[in-house]
Amino acid sequence: MTPAPHLTRRAVIAGGAGAAALAGATAAAARPGHETFQHGVASGDPLPRAVVLWTRVTPTAAATPGSGVGPRVTVAWEVATDRRFRDVVRRGSVRTGPAGDHTVKVDATRLRPDTAYFYRFTCRGETSPVGRTRTAPARTATPTGLRFGVVSCANLQAGWFSAYRHLARRDDLHAVIHLGDYLYEYAPGEYGYGRANTDIRPHVPAREMVSLADYRQRHAQYKSDPDLRALHARHPFIVTWDDHEVTNDAWRDGAENHQPAEGDYAARRAAAHRAYDEWMPVRMSGTAATGDGTRLFRTLRFGALAELSMLDLRTYRDQQAGTPAPSPVPSPTGGTDGTITGRAQLDWLKRRLRRGGPQWKLVGNPVMIAPVTFAQLPHDLVDPVNDVTGLLPRDGAPYNVDQWDGYTADRRELFDHIRDQGLHDVVFLTGDIHSGWACDLPYDASTYPLGDSAGVELVCTSVTSNNLKDITGTPPRTSSLAVEAVIQTNNRHVKYLDFDSHGYSVLDVTPERVQMDWYVIGDRADRRAGSSWTASWATRSGTNKVHAVSTPVGGA
């Protein structure tokens, strides 16, 4: 997320039986007393016949995350069709040690498509909590529906992860899509709860993470949260990163929140990526092996109904322009517009967005792609809005340079490809900006709604990270309404906007439509905060436009 142009981020933040079995798995994930398996279990990247399984072992008291000490040990794993493991269908064992921070990642293969499984690990006589996972439908299958949880931006210092707790209680999800900012790099006191910048739970280690040990310890702290552990144990994750998994406003060769005194940026990013590979249930570079992955962008297919392409919009991008300014933006590498995707990733995405593939073309998109322009807002609102979204320069210039608006050549090439291919049913799923949006993606925003749309964008709110009401210290749905009105008046393709809520979304996919339901949690400082439905928007097949829906999937 980009701060106000005249302030750095650092300156801003300084001021049934099946249901019973699933419930048992979640409860086991949250129970204390697993001395060897202190960080729970997780699964991810489901394929029709395989899924990644993850855990971390603590074989001795000294073998803490990031310590680099402890013995190499053997960890056994099992996959079964029942929670009591009477029908074990796959088993194996792996070795782990301090070189991989005692993390374990295995690719459980030769499974059945579209099937729920239970899994567990054992090490030195202790058994892990039981996790539940689910494989994807067969490549040629025609599912009647798919359902995903959608989340992003979970800052542990800013509150409790109630959104995760509510998603973990659902038994109807195929997977959880995490769109980035799974964890944050800041030191205690640097980015907390609301205007007072209070730390609900201070980060560990008590400094900004820079080294490999720092990143490992921070991942461990996040996976010590009982609500996150419960969600990982209940559903497979499909993840990508944004900037805070390394540091704020990252680009290919640097970041806003990286100073020379913090060492070589390439070394810092490599450490962050290595820890992410070790600690997340994800296939990097196409493999579940830990610590050696470099490529995160990838595709997961769910039969003939949907394909999900997960983007990496930090590793390959050119540096952001210094301040928002009218297009074109000079590229540090020459030309008139930098790249946000990199050439190889953009070509890959265009190949995925093609005729003849699965019906719905879902794109996991860490930063917003919809074009946004503005009339000038009062200055007392510009800075708070920028701390949430980075969207508003004080002079009213048209876009946010940290998102696709700062890399218009890539967006134009992608939209032109969609139009040239005659594609429909393209849906971008986005996080990052701590607010909920539903947008059409016009080929020409200046003539909308007269022209066509390349697809739609659905943006989830943050789990805990500060939004507009938190920064201004005003009650929800008060001063934010003026900002939302200005944005929607100047951007008629922005159909829904909520700057004030925290929570999660549920995405429901059928052959007829894709629908996003937004759920709002209560106070982030309350670890028992409730959840309520607030809005639903959908796109019908073949339309490339969004419309409001009166009730969420399953009813309000």
- E strand or H helix at 494: strand 494-498
CA 218 → CA 10, 164, 187, 494, distances in Å? Answer: 19, 18, 10, 36
- Please check the confidence at residue 10 and state whether its pLDDT lies above 80: no
Between residues 237 and 397, the one the model is more confident about = 237
Distance CA 317, CA 295 (A): 14
Per-residue pLDDT averaged across 470-495, rounded? 92
Q: How much of the chain, in percent, has pLDDT values that exceed 70?
A: 86
- Give pLDDT tens digits for 512-546: 999 999 999 999 999 999 999 999 999 999 999 99
- E strand or H helix at 344: helix 343-352
The residue ranges of DSSP E strands in 357-416, in sequence order, are 360-365
Here the tokens at position 372 are 């946004």
**Cβ contacts of 47 within 8 Å, gap of 6 or more:** 135, 136, 300
pTM across the whole model:
0.90
Q: How confident is the model at residue 355 (pLDDT cuts 50, 70, 90)?
A: confident
For residues 549 and 538, is the Cβ–Cβ distance under 8 A?
A: yes
- Please check the confidence at residue 28 and state whether its pLDDT lies above 50: no
Between residues 23 and 202, the one the model is more confident about = 202
Q: How confident is the model at residue 381 (pLDDT cuts 50, 70, 90)?
A: low
- Please check the confidence at residue 109 and state whether its pLDDT lies above 50: yes
For residues 513 and 491, is the Cβ–Cβ distance under 8 A?
A: no
Q: 503-509 and 494-498 as β-strands: parallel, antiparallel, unpaired? A: unpaired
Q: Which amino acid is at 180?
A: G
Whole-number pLDDT of residue 291 = 66
Q: How confident is the model at residue 294 (pLDDT cuts 50, 70, 90)?
A: confident
Whole-number pLDDT of residue 556 = 58
Per-residue pLDDT averaged across 177-203, rounded? 95
Give the CATH number of domain 9-31+136-549.
Answer: 3.60.21.70
Q: Which residue in the block uniquely carries the two structure tokens 């991989």?
A: 100
One of 3.30.365.10, 3.30.1330.40, 3.30.70.1520, 2.60.40.380 is the CATH number of 32-135, namely: 2.60.40.380
Distance CA 27, CA 169 (A): 10
Four-point Cα dihedral 390, 391, 392, 397, nearest 10: 130
- Please check the confidence at residue 555 and state whether its pLDDT lies above 90: no
- Please check the confidence at residue 332 and state whether its pLDDT lies above 90: no
Domain ranges of the chain: 9-31+136-549, 32-135
For residues 262 and 293, is the Cβ–Cβ distance under 8 A?
A: no
> For residue 372, how many other CB atoms are within 10 A of its CB?
22
- Please check the confidence at residue 14 and state whether its pLDDT lies above 60: no
Q: How confident is the model at residue 287 (pLDDT cuts 50, 70, 90)?
A: confident
- The verdict on whether omega for the bond into residue 442 sits within 30 degrees of 0, i.e. cis, is no
Whole-number pLDDT of residue 50 = 98
